[in-house]
Amino acid sequence: MQDEKLSVNTTAASKIHPKFLTGTIANAVGLLSLLLLATYSASAETAVSANGAAEFLNQAEIEASTSEMNQVTNVNQLTDVQTTDWAFVALQSLVERYGCIAGYPNSTFGGHRVMTRYEFAAGLNACLDRMNELIATATGDLVKKEDLASLQKLQEEFAAELATLRGRVDTLEARTAQLEANQFSTTTKLGGQVIVSVNAGGFDRDRIIDSTGQRILATKDPNPTVLYRASIDLDTSFTGSDLLKIRLDSGSGVIDNGRPDGARDNAAGVLEPFFGSVIDYSVKPPTVGSLGIGRLFYTFRPTQDLAVSIGPDIRTTDYVDRNSYANLSFLDFSTQAFVNNYILFPVDGPAAGAAIDWKPRNGALAVRALYAAGDPANPGETGLNVSTARFTPLLYPNDFAFNAQGKRGLFGDTYQGTVELEYAPSRSFALRLQYSGGEVFDKRFDVFGANVELTLGQRFGIFGRYGYGSYNDTAFGEIKPNYWMAGMGMRDLFTRGALAGVAVGQPFIANEIGNSTQTNYEAFYNYPFSRNIQITPTIQVIDNAGNQGSNGTILTGTLRTVFSF
């Protein structure tokens, strides 16, 4: 019992029948009633934490210790207690007369272990509460006057410890009352995230040309920049198992031809804008310098193993193609080539639709599906569509204009449907098979994908993705692009909570575009400076940018800082 923690019950009330207690015992029990029996769980009482009590109350340790204790009704149930032990008679009385002693699951008492004065005070309180119960049920004859006198002396001996505990409980009650009085909402939690990055990069040739080989993108290295993304989440639950999410976000970037372009605030977004080298959190959100809606959807569970999401502002990449090592640009890899299967999501911006996540009996198999429509709030036939991926302006340049013609709305001509089958027999292995199909500006596309991850020794992981698809009626005709990436990651490197990773891939393999194949490399090390602050240096290398061999090599570096609250 040396390292066991005590639990605190701020609602325990004394049930002492006044005619059986003297004034001294009544005061003692009134004081001790602020404590919880050491043999009961405190999960309900510690739902609201307070920094002042954190050093004394630890929920995990409370549950670990109290869950191991079993109430005994006969002293002979304790296998390590012998009749020759000097405290046998006392234990027999406490167990059989008052029922306020608990043992471990292996039927031992552990009487030779060292205990703290706080632990003894809690045990004393357990016995007093038991006697209160006996008295309140008109069985006061079971409590001997000698026992009450002994307990009174013990209460006086441990007055300092009990006073300390009472003060901590009072502090916890005050903090809880303050939180309840000033809480934002009884159903809504407020959270947020700020990403600030310093970025720089350059190239080793005379100029950089685009994927068509006709337009010069740069003749000198871009200037270093500071970019940001800031978001606020309002997460509301009405039943405890549902979620209404509202995200407000903003980011840096520029306005390019009337369209917000967050990708232009980093070197890779300027030098290689089409094939996945862009920093993902810079191009999302789609707003530039103004606050806008970043997510708006409602998720509920018709059954325990089925989640349904529906909303007017969702992101396709939130629901499928997850990976423990390469998926979140604020946590692991930064660029779009590695956080998702690049060709699987031609619709990756603001969209309306629905998604399901079904894991029958919470077993190894899971089925996910989604439908997402671009520009869903537009009932007309024209307007700028900002829901599509970075490579679509290259494939369909004539469709990126305010006056471009096409059916808009919920069932318009830019939509994506995706199905994913996952097999994950354990946390160490997962295989996901995917299919996406739909239309981009009324042009058909179909893509098949695979996503695999394997963790070895709980810390080291290997992972990869592959995609093969077809896009019809592009500026280059019908193309059949391929995509692949592979990498490895290491958790808790140098410090607990850290994450490091390195990956290589070819995000857009298409013989019809350019005279070579672009290859991306990226390495990062996420260092948790604190629970709410993470600092991540990242290096990116791009060979044959834009599938053009004459572009040579591009090198970029980013220092990413994430603040979460």
CA distance 186 to 443: 47
CA distance 150 to 144: 10
Handedness of CA 301, 307, 308, 311 (dihedral sign): positive
CA distance 214 to 211: 8
CA distance 347 to 396: 14
In three-state secondary structure terms, 464 is strand
How high is the pLDDT of residue 229?
Answer: 95
Mean pLDDT of the chain: 82
The listed CATH number (3.40.47.10, 1.10.10.10, 2.40.160.10, 3.90.1150.10) that belongs to domain 188-564: 2.40.160.10
Handedness of CA 275, 276, 282, 288 (dihedral sign): positive
> Under a CB-based contact definition with an 8 Å cutoff, are residues 169 and 10 in contact?
yes
Instruction: Name the helix (H) or strand (E) containing 313.
Output: strand 306-314
How high is the pLDDT of residue 245?
Answer: 96
Instruction: Name the helix (H) or strand (E) containing 303.
Output: strand 292-303
- How many angstroms from the chain centroid is the CA of residue 442? 37
Strand partners, 194: 230, 563
How high is the pLDDT of residue 355?
Answer: 98
How high is the pLDDT of residue 44?
Answer: 32
CA distance 55 to 38: 18
Residue ranges, the chain, pLDDT below 50: 1-69, 139-140
In three-state secondary structure terms, 506 is strand
Q: Is the peptide bond before 285 cis (omega within 30 degrees of 0)?
A: yes
CA distance 7 to 103: 17
How high is the pLDDT of residue 16?
Answer: 35
User: CA of 391: how far to CAs of 202, 395, 397, 413, 521, in Å?
Assistant: 22, 7, 10, 17, 19
How high is the pLDDT of residue 33?
Answer: 37
Give me the amino acid identity at 290. Answer: S
Give me the amino acid identity at 422. Answer: E
CB burial of 434-468 (b: ≥16 within 10 Å; e: otherwise) equals bbbbbbbbebebebbbebbbbbeeeeebebbbbbb
If we measure between CA atoms, which residue out of 134, 139, 95 comes closest to residue 15? 134
CA distance 210 to 202: 16
Q: What are phi and psi for residue 118, nearest 5 degrees?
A: -65, -40
DSSP 8-state code for residue 550: G
> Under a CB-based contact definition with an 8 Å cutoff, are residues 307 and 299 in contact?
yes
For tokens 């089958």, the residue is: 421
Where do the structural domains in the chain lie, given as residue ranges?
Answer: 18-182, 188-564
CA distance 194 to 562: 6
| pTM for this model (two decimals) | 0.70
